[in-house]
Amino acid sequence: MSFFDLFLQASLLVQLVMLLLLIISIMSWTFIFQRSKALNDANSEVKKFEDRFWSGADLNRLYQELSARQTVPGMAAVFCAGFKEFVRLSKNASSLPEAIMEGTHRAMRVSLSREVDNLESHLPFLATAGSISPYIGLFGTVWGIMTAFIALGEVQQATLQMVAPGIAEALIATAMGLFAAIPSVIAYNRFSHRVEKLETSYANFMEEFSSILHRQALANHKTAG
């Protein structure tokens, strides 16, 4: 018997369970491919930006180039947020370096949090799919087996040939639940680790950039004084 035949012969509830698991699996694979591309792009962006930033490029010019883009992702967004706030606060000659850096650091933290949220997009769905899919499949299996045994109770003589198709139909639901869950769990764990590494890179850059801006703020304050 083919999988399609088993699906057609299953009870309506088991069929609905199978369709639900199929939808979850399709969505999971869609998000897996999307997140894989997004994280690869984010890693590439970090390398390109760090090479440009630490090459000794003029910060004003770098900020102007990045601001001219329609979208500024990742580490570049943290840089733009911090530099913009630093310039805005530095225009007030009476501002103390500590106050300038506090505002600058706050702006970069907000930008960092926003970028991490973007990187984590769809990861909760993968985690949920990996957690509940086996139980959804198990529910379909239990219901299918229960239905099969109820039907057997209505006949006088039960044989293995009569029991096997019903049990096979039910077990398909568990197999589909595992098929949906396993890739989701693997992808979630892998992507979470990659997001953590990117977040650490962003945070380290934020601290290093803050040190550069702090030195500049102290120099500006001494010059103004």
Q: 162 pLDDT exceeds 90?
A: no
Quickly tell me which residue has 């550069």 as its tokens: 212
What does the alpha-carbon distance between residue 190 and residue 187 come to, in Å, rounded to a whole number? 5
Question: What token pair was written down for 200?
Answer: 């650490």
Q: 225 pLDDT exceeds 60?
A: no
| Number of folded domains that form the chain | 1
Residue (of 105, 181, 84) closest to 137 by Cα position: 181
Handedness of CA 138, 139, 142, 144 (dihedral sign): negative
What does the alpha-carbon distance between residue 86 and residue 214 come to, in Å, rounded to a whole number? 9
Write out pLDDT tens, residues 5-37.
766 777 788 889 889 999 999 999 999 999 999
The predicted pLDDT at position 12 comes to 83
Q: 129 pLDDT exceeds 90?
A: yes
Q: Which domain does 125 fall in, by range?
A: 3-224
Quickly tell me which residue has 């045994």 as its tokens: 149
Least confident span in 57-61, 75-79, 84-88: 57-61
The length of the chain in residues reads 225
The predicted pLDDT at position 133 comes to 94
According to DSSP, residue 155 is labeled S
Q: 1 pLDDT exceeds 70?
A: no
Q: 156 pLDDT exceeds 90?
A: no
